[in-house]
Structure 1
Amino acid sequence: MPPAADDPSEEAVDDVARRLDDALERVAHGAAVSVPSILLQRGLTVVFTAVLTNGIGAAPYGLFALARRIQRFLARIVLGFRNGLSRFLPTADQEERNALATFASLLLLGVATVFGVGLFLAAPRITSIAGQTGRFETLLQVFALGMPASVWLFTVTEVLRGIEEVAPLNLTMRLVYPAAQLVVGVVGAFVVGDIAFVAGGVLAVMGLTGVGAAVWIVRARGFRPRLRGPRLPALRRRYLDYTIPLFLGGIATTTQRLGFYPLIAVFLSGVAGGVFAVGVLVSQLVRLPLMAINQFIPPVAAALNEEGHEDALSRLYHVTSRLVLVGVVAAAVPVVVYRETVMAAFGPTFTEYAPLLTLFVLAQIAACAAGSVGILLRMTDHQQALLVTNVAITTVLAVVAIPLTVEFGLAGVVWTYLLMLTLNNGIEVAVLYHLEGLQPFTKRHSYPLLAALPFGVVALVARALAPGVLGAVVGTLLGLAAFAATLKTLGFTPVERRLASTLAERYGELLPGR
């Protein structure tokens, strides 16, 4: 006997489906708008890097990359305090939003200033330990002075993410900042001829871009500074209770992500630092689908968790992680097959290290296979578990990283990088499943891996018939067609088809004549 129309179980299923569709549309809209802008940002960043490596040279760029990564190491730790914005802004009223944005901005700028002063004072000692020249010390001091400017930009953009302002976020981070950075790079490399000028110019651009975005938030969304109010002490305590574990955990997480640069500075050369930076930069193009999905997963997941919609959150995780894997695999195949052609864009020094690019790409696949696992741990208020997990992983890496680097050089560093991302995401998936019963995998996660086989065959044949850029372009296009045809044959879920239909209708209205 069929269930009645008002059957509570059927209504519950319909409610989950509605919430899932709404959440998916919001996340997918953010991703759809973000993909072109992230591609543009990454493209501009790659060009910026190529300008420096070809205009100033591999060794000076290596010093620039090392100094910048050391500053970014500290900045990422500071930015642990910003994560409360995307957690609390989505469900806050306007007065609470004003107070949260004000408190978080002051907190982040204050901590950034302290860290910047510390780095400035430590620059001579770091230079001595690394056995580098005075140029490296100057670069470190420039980046130290610019610490508040870089943190400010990422604070403002986190406010934009928390209130789901898709277009302004992408305009700020994906267009204005990287375009201005590229201009600074061209002037610094070909007009001034000074890498320190580039460092100072990049930091100035970050600060000014952040100021411009903040002005827009004040004018368009009515944000106002708010320091006093009856509920503010409790709000600040809640914010600190949430973010302090993330700040402490950020030390471990940042050591995992950027601790390789101090390691390279001590044991290897400036050229090795440049090669590692380029390898990470290129391989992170593979990460684009996860970056796009992650643009607005935090506020959407936070709202679902806050309102108790566990089933919708679980299904959202399944669908988004599967979509991420499709995109990641599609991007990974051509980068691996045409790795020599890709690395040649940065000069002959980098081409000889092309085999290492495969390891960088495998590391990104490992990082993306579980989707937004770290974000979901934060948005379900398990930041303490995330702290313990990251400390444990960092401890393991600290034990193995130095011996691998001493024994195998740059290859040892890259193997450690692969190990780190694999361990990190594997353990986080286990922790999330234990605490919330959430896990990303279904049998459909194998489909993009199967579809990668014909893609790889087509790409290899094209490389054999037409080496170089032409073969890479043709092989990638034909391979993508084979990849898409295989996925179509394997089939899509009703949720995926419904999402595609909704997005097609939404963006189809923007076309002329519709």
Structure 2
Amino acid sequence: MSGDQDSITSELESISSGSYWFLLGWVFEYMAGFLTQVLLTNSLSTSSYGIYAFIRKVIALSVGLFSGGSNTALNRFLSKYINEPSKQDNVLGLSLVFSIGGSVLIGVALYILAPVLSALTFTGELTPGIVRVVATTIPLLSAVKTLGGAFRALERIRLKILIEKVIRPGVLLVVVGSIALFDPSLGRVVEGIVVASLATFGLSAVLFVVYTERVPSLTDSWSIVSGYFEFSLLMSLSHSSALLFRRIDIFMLSYLSVSAAVGIYNVSLLLSGTLLLPLAGFSQLFPPIASRLYETSDMDQLEKLYSTVTRWSIMLTSAGFVGLVLYRTELLTIFGSDYTTGAKILVVLAVGQLINSAAGPADHLLAMTDHRYILLANQVSMGISNITLNYLLLIEYGPIGAAVATALVFASLNIARVVEIYVLEGIFPYDSSFLKFLPALSLGTLIMFLVRSFLATPLSYAGIPLGLSVYLILLYVFGLEQVDEDLIDHLAFK
């Protein structure tokens, strides 16, 4: 292989390694999360589960308001100061202050405004006391997210995955799942979330102290402080807008619909979210590597990397999309018969996630190439569009309208990201190689359809692994590019 080919293979190996560990972590997280959701949906009423789903979205939004910008800044600056450990320590210190300090403010505001939030949602079913208990978890989980982000930026991906994909969902399953089995009430479940958050924070802090040599510190260098806060504040605004537009459907449903509808919608949202697994896995180490290539002006390698990761994302997500759509009713039945009414919602949301994956890690690439104002403009404009569309379509068509609005906004945002990357950096990921997987996908789809049509449940479930296996085999034989084969050879003989 040439020097350039060796280089891209090395970078892809790092990303593949990160994806491998992410996949292992995700399998545990998914199984733990799946069991937690099944325990809750079968022990709580549909209305109580809807309130629980809303609470989880409030926590995720509140935690992400500051930790999202902090983590993006860690990816950008820890790579930039890779040969300057003291500056890395400064960046870590600033990140912890930024994310934890900001989350404390959010938690206090939520505590004070608890009666208002209670009055605006579920006609008072969500009590102020529950909201105030939830507020205590926000600083704890923000710290956990920042520590995980530090591991990722330092390219210690296994430790990030251990925190976010094993410890956090595992502790939540043990604590909340036990409550669901032995004392199933919404109040007890919320108390369990607090206990799980405390335990997760303690374990994460111990891992950071034991497995890194970095000691977070604060700096008196104005250039570092101003550069960090300019970047992280903009990224926080961008992440906040992104979180809002991704979850505005749940919030508006909580305001305009009954809690049972929120529960049904949330299960469909959870299932459709599994389609982001390939992109999320490949994106674990993409940002710091992209930042490093951008710093060295190696744009050809950056384009090859982006194109390959995007192609991988499309190939794997498409197969999951087919399985999810074909088996939508059977999968929803696992959560309870009440949830099968969300089948159409699941299909619409799955289309949105497929389009999301088709853009690859475009959002990360925009951030790592210093186009933070573009990112912010994207998120704000799409957030406003999503609020408007969700309101109009939800009023007219109910939960399915919220799903359509969210899918449309996802499509528009990701098309915009790809165009912006091309205009700003001259990078375009797509070529004819992106079509080579279609014959394999068609045969895999046919097998899934035939098995589902001729076998009764639960035997029909065999169509999913059978169809995916045929797809992957055919993909390996006919659908790989030279860069894929080089990587496989490299890994096989390493």
TM over 0.5: yes
User: 1:448-486 CA distances to partner (integer Å, 9 max, x unpaired)?
Assistant: 3443222221111101111213211x2123212331344
The answer to whether structure 1 residue 354 and structure 2 residue 343 are counterparts is yes
User: 1:50-71 CA distances to partner (integer Å, 9 max, x unpaired)?
Assistant: 1101012221111011122123
The answer to whether structure 1 residue 172 and structure 2 residue 163 are counterparts is yes
Find the aligned partners of 2:356 and 2:29 in 1 and give their Cα distance.
21
User: 1:193-238 CA distances to partner (integer Å, 9 max, x unpaired)?
Assistant: 2222222322332343233223222232212232245xx3321211
* Counterpart pick for 2:417 among 405, 412, 428: 428
Find the aligned partners of 1:236 and 1:33 in 2 and give their Cα distance.
34
* Distance verdict in 2 for CA 1:401–1:374, change over 3 Å: same
The answer to whether structure 1 residue 146 and structure 2 residue 134 are counterparts is no
Moved more, 481-490 or 313-322: 481-490
* Distance verdict in 2 for CA 1:469–1:90, change over 3 Å: farther
**1:364-403 counterparts in 2 under 5 A?**
364-403=353-392
Q: Which residue of 2 aligns with 1:505?
A: 493
1:49 deviates by: 0.8
Q: TM-score, structure 1 length as denominator?
A: 0.92
Find the aligned partners of 1:259 and 1:51 in 2 and give their Cα distance.
26
List runs of 5+ in structure 1 lacking aligned partners: 1-12, 507-514
* Distance verdict in 2 for CA 1:175–1:131, change over 3 Å: closer
1:354 deviates by: 1.8
Q: Which residue of 2 aligns with 1:290?
A: 279
Letter in 2 for 1:59: S
Letter in 2 for 1:23: E
Find the aligned partners of 2:248 and 2:61 in 1 and give their Cα distance.
7
* Counterpart pick for 2:94 among 94, 103, 110: 103
CA contact 2:437–2:479 (8 Å) conserved in 1: no
Find the aligned partners of 1:97 and 1:194 in 2 and give their Cα distance.
45
Secondary structure of the structure 1 residue equivalent to 2:244? helix
Q: Which residue of 2 aligns with 1:301?
A: 290
1:501 deviates by: 1.7
User: 1:302-358 CA distances to partner (integer Å, 9 max, x unpaired)?
Assistant: 111111110000000111111111111121211111111100110011012223211
CA contact 1:46–1:281 (8 Å) conserved in 2: no
Letter in 2 for 1:273: V
Letter in 1 for 2:320: A
1:259 deviates by: 1.4
CA contact 2:171–2:200 (8 Å) conserved in 1: no
The answer to whether structure 1 residue 183 and structure 2 residue 174 are counterparts is yes
Q: Which residue of 2 aligns with 1:42?
A: 30
Report the identity percentage.
Answer: 23
Find the aligned partners of 1:242 and 1:78 in 2 and give their Cα distance.
12
Find the aligned partners of 2:295 and 2:205 in 1 and give their Cα distance.
27
CA contact 1:66–1:265 (8 Å) conserved in 2: yes
Q: Which residue of 1 aligns with 2:196?
A: 205
**1:412-427 counterparts in 2 under 5 A?**
412-427=401-416
1:422 deviates by: 0.7
* Distance verdict in 2 for CA 1:143–1:447, change over 3 Å: farther
CA contact 1:16–1:311 (8 Å) conserved in 2: no
Aligned length: 491
**1:156-167 counterparts in 2 under 5 A?**
156-167=147-158
1:137 deviates by: 3.1
Find the aligned partners of 1:502 and 1:132 in 2 and give their Cα distance.
59
1:488 deviates by: 4.0
* Counterpart pick for 2:399 among 401, 406, 410: 410
Q: Which residue of 1 aligns with 2:109?
A: 118
* Distance verdict in 2 for CA 1:136–1:430, change over 3 Å: farther
Moved more, 423-432 or 489-498: 489-498
* Counterpart pick for 2:211 among 197, 204, 220: 220
List runs of 5+ in structure 2 lacking aligned partners: none
